[in-house]
A and B are shown apart, each in its own frame.
Chain A
Amino acid sequence: MAEKLVGTDIAPPDLHAKITGRARYAEDFRAPGMVFAKLLLSPMPHARVRRVDARRALAMPGVIDILRADEVPSRDGPREACLTDYPRYEGEPILAVAAVDEETAAAAIEAIEIDFEPLPFVIDPLDSLRPGGPNAYVEGNQFSGQDGWSEFRWTAEDFAVIDAGGMPDPSCPVEWTKGDPDAAFAESALVLEETIVHQSLTHHPMEPRSNMAYWEGDRLFAFVSTQSTQQTKFALASALDMDPENITFVAEFCGGGFGSKISGTTVMQVPAIFSKKIGRPVMLRVTRYEENYIGRARPGFQSWLKMGFLPNGKCNAIDLIIVQESGPYGASDYATAGMIADLTYTPQNMRFRAVDMFTNTPPKAAQRGPGGAQIISMMEPILEKAARELGVDRLEMHRLNAPRGDVKFGPRDSTLTSVHAIEALERGAEMFDWPAKVALSGRRDGSRVTGVGIGLSPYTAGSRDRDGLMIIRPDGKLYVHQGIGNLGTHSIADTARPAAELLGLSWDDVVIVWGDSSKGMPRSTVQAGSQTTHAHTRANHAAGMDALQKVREVAAATMGGAPSAYRVDGGRVSGPGGTMTLGRVAERAIQMGGRYDGHVLPEDIHEQTIPAAQMLAGQGLMGVARDNYGGEGNVYSWVAGFALVELDEETGVVALKEYVGITDCGTVIHPRSLGAQVLGGSIQGMGMAMTQRWVFDPKWGVPFANRLYTARPPGMLDVPPDLKWDAVGIADPTTPVGAKGIGEPPVGAGAAALTCAVADAMGGRCLCRTPLTPDIILAELEGRTGVGRLEQHVG
């Protein structure tokens, strides 16, 4: 009987290296003659470099050279270069200096004389929308590839409404409508209108994006920190305008990325280009302080929301306007936010408008649950507010509005492959004991008030059509080649399990090959949007099926009988003609050649798989295939979070006392790791909603919070020591293994459970903003106004 691998707790094969100090993250690599680069960061949010005098720096003993913006690739429009003479945020790298050691490089940076012309800047996107407002770029505040730069403003009338605290009716570059929202609102029993402010927040993965590079002739060796691997290599090649086959790309471990290192190639260009220029390996160590600036951030939202409800609590109309704070290089969270609002509340009638505004703040990128986490953490408390006003139980309210399997959402009536959000809510209510806990709502103990809340959060969780590549070698082991990254989710190993199961192998006979492009990688996804588990359980299943078929054919050719009469298990293939080990099968496959050992490849595999498969041909029995399983509909996973908090009305401090997170992510591959994703993601969401705060100085346009202690991610004492999680565990019927991704949805669930619980502790008052730091809560309790503009994140 084959070992059951899917659904069991197997420690990932790299764990031993991780806990003995042997795991090499980018900054752990060394090369002979390696020198160190330091960056000079812009001290102002928008400027032009007028003059650089590096003579004194270059004359210092130990200084090797300087790298300037005109030596690195750049493109017109709002596109980021790794160095620039036109910094568009405080902290943007201007130039780099290399020296024999880091102190000398830093001293040289200090010795550079640089003259900046300060330019007008924008921190709050609403400022740039105002008539006569400033622009984040000299050329304007909107850019299109076709028409170039332009200025976009709202009208004085729009702002008269906004300034009076109302919901404007502005024109927006992005707009879609479905159903008839106006008619639906007229039928609503309750219409709520709220202003929403969601902060922008840096990612701060534990490992800063340090990296090292050197060249041997035309070949670049890059040692980097990235979430993805194969796709990052291609992105780096394209940024450097070189043939990807000339890069040896090493990314064995990644100390977290959360979206900020999907590729993360911008900073990788500095050592790559610098080392070519000076002919020596260059290490660029990125500090935590630098990480705050160049390490990407979630875009902030300022938003107006109108939500209509029928008497039973069903949401029947949504009108949502989002102004996104997009940093200097743009982001697309707002689009996802609109889709997710429609998907989660199924109003049938919805108008969505959005404008993304360039700002002179650190660059934005997807951050775990991009768009979804922001909108869910803001809308769930409004749904719960409606429940209170209509006298509907809040759990019932979530259940009533959650989508069923036949849901159609977004402007193009998108569908889902499967959805079990309601089961997640029900399972969570049971584990949390909702009826008992909701009875505690409003309970007082001195100045502390209890609140409970529920957050239901979906996010995309899959993609299709990647390739799988694996070899059974004469040692009888299955070598699964992964082009995906080792970003900490264990998917690097877990997505190989279905193939090992198909081949009846014990996990000890499976070797995961990853993290080094010279070892051969199939066409893989980027590690983003929680695609990996879905995409690569499919791709590896397909390649596993291919290997299985070939094993049977080799056995039949060797021992006689029909291939279909052979069974594979326990490292052997057995049938009418006898039995042989998989090691022997591999030897036979090499003798037989052709498609058996990879000398002839399937015609439909992706071009990006071919060099790897060709390199590995002849080394064993090759399983290689494209994921042709197909399937209709969008793949989404869900998390329902339940939180109980105590809010101290005297101090404004919120203490999380209990949390339960339940996921619908299809078949569970690795329970323990899934638990870490559900709870870890939830806690990250709580940090976004509660403990971390990014603050800007409006006068100088610079961030005040620039280290961990000024925007502190939750620590161990910020959460109770007995968090709970579970999975609905219903397979997605459209994918052979049934598994969907999980990385993103817990963030919105954790954040929203908390924002709802805090609102509950405040008697149902929605703050409709993040973060819920004590000063903001106290201001609300004391009746001070202050909700509205992003600028009010300031001091």
Chain B
Amino acid sequence: MDQSEALGVLEQKYSRRTFIKGVIATGATVSSTGYLFRGTPLLGAAAFQTATERLLSLNVNGQVRRVDVLPHETLAMTLRYKLGLTGTKLGCDRAECGACTVLVDGVAQYGCSMLTHQVRGRAVTTIEGLEDPDTGELSTVQKAVMDEGGFQCAFCAPGFIMSMTAMLQDNPNPTREEAAHALSGNLCRCADYDKILNCAMRAAELARSV
């Protein structure tokens, strides 16, 4: 990886700053309450076009999806409310919990803190995109979670599973401590950390055996 690529990855990793920069560039404001979005004709509500939406082509879970997006719309909102992908959860909408974690070009990102405009031309993977689209077979990480009976309420699960998926790409052979570090951007309020780490270690084991 040359330096400019590496910097690109770094910038993606620290997306909150990019997010704010993006918001400033589009002249939109971020509301202090978070969690705001515009409706969609999909829901049957007539959306009010006071801000300009732009039709984008997004690559989500291997499919090209065309969608009208506001300049300040977050990826999590587009996924949940325009593309019907409600597996991506919103726990805080403010980069505090990781429930909204998705992969952008294979890198774990907080979907709540990234603008949809930022992912143009990039590959977005959500929890719905992990199964084999033809056979429905679960991904390695998902299988590991099934094996270990992971999670309690599981509101955090999609985010953790996406982070585990990214972790295995970076470090296929983690120690328990390394796994804990890799997953520390995700919060589990049920604090099922022990079992989540078991899942991560099992996933690494399964990945090595294929």
A285's partner among B35, B86, B89, B145 (CB-CB below 8 A) is B35
Beta-carbon contacts of A11-54 to B below 8 Å, as 1s and 0s?
A: 11001101111111101101011111000000000000000000
**Cβ of B186 to closest chain A Cβ, rounded Å:** 8
The reply to whether the CB of A116 lies closer than 8 angstroms to some CB of chain B is no
Alpha-carbon distance A233/B130, docked complex (angstroms) = 36
Whether A683 and B191, one on each chain, are in contact in the complex, defined by CB atoms closer than 8 angstroms, is yes
Alpha-carbon distance A656/B94, docked complex (angstroms) = 28
| Residue total for A at the interface (Cβ-Cβ under 8 A) | 73
Alpha-carbon distance A753/B118, docked complex (angstroms) = 47
B195's partner among A24, A285, A287, A672 (CB-CB below 8 A) is A672
Which segment of B7-15, B19-27, B38-46, B103-111 sits at the interface? B38-46
Whether B157 and A27, one on each chain, are in contact in the complex, defined by CB atoms closer than 8 angstroms, is no
Alpha-carbon distance A256/B189, docked complex (angstroms) = 8
Q: Which residues of B contact A206 (CB under 8 A)?
A: 89, 91, 97, 99, 153, 155-156, 187-190
Which chain A residue lies CB-closest to B155? A255
Whether A102 and B184, one on each chain, are in contact in the complex, defined by CB atoms closer than 8 angstroms, is no
Whether A488 and B190, one on each chain, are in contact in the complex, defined by CB atoms closer than 8 angstroms, is yes
Question: Given A25-B89, A255-B153, are A684 and B45 neighbors across the interface (CB < 8 Å)?
Answer: no
Whether B92 and A707, one on each chain, are in contact in the complex, defined by CB atoms closer than 8 angstroms, is yes
Q: Determine which residue in B33, B47, B142, B151 has the highest number of CB atoms from chain A within 10 A of its CB, and name it.
A: B33
Which chain A residue lies CB-closest to B144? A19
The reply to whether the CB of A61 lies closer than 8 angstroms to some CB of chain B is yes
Q: Which residues of B contact A18 (CB under 8 A)?
A: 151, 154, 157
Whether B155 and A104, one on each chain, are in contact in the complex, defined by CB atoms closer than 8 angstroms, is no
Question: Given A34-B43, A676-B192, A716-B183, are A19 and B151 neighbors across the interface (CB < 8 Å)?
Answer: yes
Give the residues from 114 to 131 in chain B that come closer than 8 angstroms, CB to CB, to chain A. 126-128, 130-131
Which chain B residue lies CB-closest to A36? B39
Alpha-carbon distance A20/B133, docked complex (angstroms) = 12
Q: Which residues of A contact B91 (CB under 8 A)?
A: 206-208, 255, 288, 708
**Cβ of B140 to closest chain A Cβ, rounded Å:** 12
Whether A723 and B45, one on each chain, are in contact in the complex, defined by CB atoms closer than 8 angstroms, is no
Alpha-carbon distance A52/B183, docked complex (angstroms) = 47
**Cβ of A227 to closest chain B Cβ, rounded Å:** 10
Give the residues from 129 to 155 in chain B that come closer than 8 angstroms, CB to CB, to chain A. 130-131, 138, 142, 145-146, 148-155
Whether B44 and A32, one on each chain, are in contact in the complex, defined by CB atoms closer than 8 angstroms, is yes
Question: Given A11-B149, A21-B87, A23-B154, are A708 and B92 neighbors across the interface (CB < 8 Å)?
Answer: yes
- Interface size for chain B: under 10, 10 to 19, 20 to 34, or 35 or more residues? 35 or more
Q: Determine which residue in B39, B47, B127, B153 has the highest number of CB atoms from chain A within 10 A of its CB, and name it.
A: B153
Whether B33 and A106, one on each chain, are in contact in the complex, defined by CB atoms closer than 8 angstroms, is yes
Alpha-carbon distance A373/B39, docked complex (angstroms) = 44
Whether B146 and A15, one on each chain, are in contact in the complex, defined by CB atoms closer than 8 angstroms, is yes
The reply to whether the CB of B66 lies closer than 8 angstroms to some CB of chain A is no
A19's partner among B146, B180, B191 (CB-CB below 8 A) is B146
The reply to whether the CB of A420 lies closer than 8 angstroms to some CB of chain B is no
Question: Given A35-B45, A256-B189, are A672 and B35 neighbors across the interface (CB < 8 Å)?
Answer: no
Whether B96 and A61, one on each chain, are in contact in the complex, defined by CB atoms closer than 8 angstroms, is no
Whether A61 and B50, one on each chain, are in contact in the complex, defined by CB atoms closer than 8 angstroms, is yes
Q: Which residues of B contact A24 (CB under 8 A)?
A: 86
Which chain A residue lies CB-closest to B45? A100
**Cβ of B127 to closest chain A Cβ, rounded Å:** 4
Whether B153 and A254, one on each chain, are in contact in the complex, defined by CB atoms closer than 8 angstroms, is yes
Whether A20 and B128, one on each chain, are in contact in the complex, defined by CB atoms closer than 8 angstroms, is yes
Alpha-carbon distance A256/B50, docked complex (angstroms) = 37
Q: Which residues of A contact B50 (CB under 8 A)?
A: 61
Alpha-carbon distance A102/B72, docked complex (angstroms) = 14
Beta-carbon contacts of A656-697 to B below 8 Å, as 1s and 0s?
A: 000000000000000011011101110110010000000000
Q: Which residues of A contact B170 (CB under 8 A)?
A: none
Q: Which residues of A contact B48 (CB under 8 A)?
A: 61-62, 100-101, 104
Q: Which residues of A contact B71 (CB under 8 A)?
A: none
Alpha-carbon distance A22/B196, docked complex (angstroms) = 20
Q: Which residues of A contact B138 (CB under 8 A)?
A: 19-20
**Cβ of B98 to closest chain A Cβ, rounded Å:** 9
**Cβ of A191 to closest chain B Cβ, rounded Å:** 38
The reply to whether the CB of B194 lies closer than 8 angstroms to some CB of chain A is yes
**Cβ of A678 to closest chain B Cβ, rounded Å:** 10
Q: Determine which residue in A256, A677, A722 has the highest number of CB atoms from chain B within 10 A of its CB, and name it.
A: A256
Q: Which residues of B contact A200 (CB under 8 A)?
A: none
The reply to whether the CB of A145 lies closer than 8 angstroms to some CB of chain B is no
Which chain B residue lies CB-closest to A678? B194
The reply to whether the CB of B31 lies closer than 8 angstroms to some CB of chain A is yes
Q: Which residues of B contact A27 (CB under 8 A)?
A: 86, 90
Q: Which residues of A contact B151 (CB under 8 A)?
A: 15, 18-19, 488
The reply to whether the CB of A190 lies closer than 8 angstroms to some CB of chain B is no
Alpha-carbon distance A716/B153, docked complex (angstroms) = 17
**Cβ of A258 to closest chain B Cβ, rounded Å:** 8
The reply to whether the CB of B176 lies closer than 8 angstroms to some CB of chain A is yes
Question: Given A20-B138, A21-B86, A103-B38, are A33 and B190 neighbors across the interface (CB < 8 Å)?
Answer: no
Alpha-carbon distance A28/B83, docked complex (angstroms) = 12
Q: Determine which residue in B35, B90, B186 has the highest number of CB atoms from chain A within 10 A of its CB, and name it.
A: B35
Alpha-carbon distance A34/B50, docked complex (angstroms) = 20
Alpha-carbon distance A305/B63, docked complex (angstroms) = 65
The reply to whether the CB of A489 lies closer than 8 angstroms to some CB of chain B is yes
Q: Which residues of B contact A205 (CB under 8 A)?
A: 153, 155, 189
Question: Given A21-B128, A488-B190, are A101 and B47 neighbors across the interface (CB < 8 Å)?
Answer: yes
**Cβ of A457 to closest chain B Cβ, rounded Å:** 16
Whether A707 and B47, one on each chain, are in contact in the complex, defined by CB atoms closer than 8 angstroms, is no
Alpha-carbon distance A714/B91, docked complex (angstroms) = 15
Beta-carbon contacts of A115-130 to B below 8 Å, as 1s and 0s?
A: 0000000000000000
Which chain B residue lies CB-closest to A285? B35
A713's partner among B43, B161, B191, B195 (CB-CB below 8 A) is B191
The reply to whether the CB of A94 lies closer than 8 angstroms to some CB of chain B is no
**Cβ of B4 to closest chain A Cβ, rounded Å:** 31
Whether A288 and B92, one on each chain, are in contact in the complex, defined by CB atoms closer than 8 angstroms, is yes
Q: Which residues of B contact A100 (CB under 8 A)?
A: 39, 45-48
Q: Which residues of B contact A715 (CB under 8 A)?
A: 184, 187
Alpha-carbon distance A27/B151, docked complex (angstroms) = 20
Beta-carbon contacts of B40-66 to A below 8 Å, as 1s and 0s?
A: 000111111010000000000000000
Question: Given A15-B145, A715-B187, are A708 and B96 neighbors across the interface (CB < 8 Å)?
Answer: yes
Alpha-carbon distance A680/B194, docked complex (angstroms) = 8
Q: Which residues of B contact A721 (CB under 8 A)?
A: 176-177, 179-180, 197
**Cβ of B5 to closest chain A Cβ, rounded Å:** 29
Whether B126 and A21, one on each chain, are in contact in the complex, defined by CB atoms closer than 8 angstroms, is yes
Whether B153 and A256, one on each chain, are in contact in the complex, defined by CB atoms closer than 8 angstroms, is yes
Q: Determine which residue in B138, B193, B195 has the highest number of CB atoms from chain A within 10 A of its CB, and name it.
A: B193
B93's partner among A61, A288, A673 (CB-CB below 8 A) is A288
Which chain A residue lies CB-closest to B38? A101
Whether B153 and A487, one on each chain, are in contact in the complex, defined by CB atoms closer than 8 angstroms, is yes
A679's partner among B46, B179, B194 (CB-CB below 8 A) is B194
The reply to whether the CB of A182 lies closer than 8 angstroms to some CB of chain B is no
The reply to whether the CB of B181 lies closer than 8 angstroms to some CB of chain A is yes
Alpha-carbon distance A232/B164, docked complex (angstroms) = 36
Q: Which residues of B contact A106 (CB under 8 A)?
A: 31, 33, 36
Whether B86 and A722, one on each chain, are in contact in the complex, defined by CB atoms closer than 8 angstroms, is no
Q: Determine which residue in A708, A714, A715 has the highest number of CB atoms from chain B within 10 A of its CB, and name it.
A: A715
Q: Which residues of B contact A254 (CB under 8 A)?
A: 153
**Cβ of B71 to closest chain A Cβ, rounded Å:** 12
Q: Which residues of B contact A436 (CB under 8 A)?
A: none
**Cβ of A284 to closest chain B Cβ, rounded Å:** 11
Q: Which residues of B contact A61 (CB under 8 A)?
A: 48, 50
Give the residues from 54 to 107 in chain A that come closer than 8 angstroms, CB to CB, to chain B. 61-62, 100-104, 106
**8 more A-B contacts (CB under 8 A) besides A289-B34, A680-B152, A709-B94?**
A101-B37, A206-B153, A207-B91, A489-B152, A676-B152, A677-B152, A707-B92, A717-B180
Give me 11 A-to-B residue pairs in the complex whose CB atoms sit less than 8 angstroms apart, sorted by A's number: A15-B151, A21-B88, A25-B155, A30-B43, A35-B39, A206-B97, A206-B156, A255-B91, A288-B35, A676-B194, A687-B191
Listed from nearest, the 7 A-B pairs whose CB atoms lie closest are A21-B87, A255-B155, A488-B153, A101-B39, A683-B191, A18-B154, A21-B127
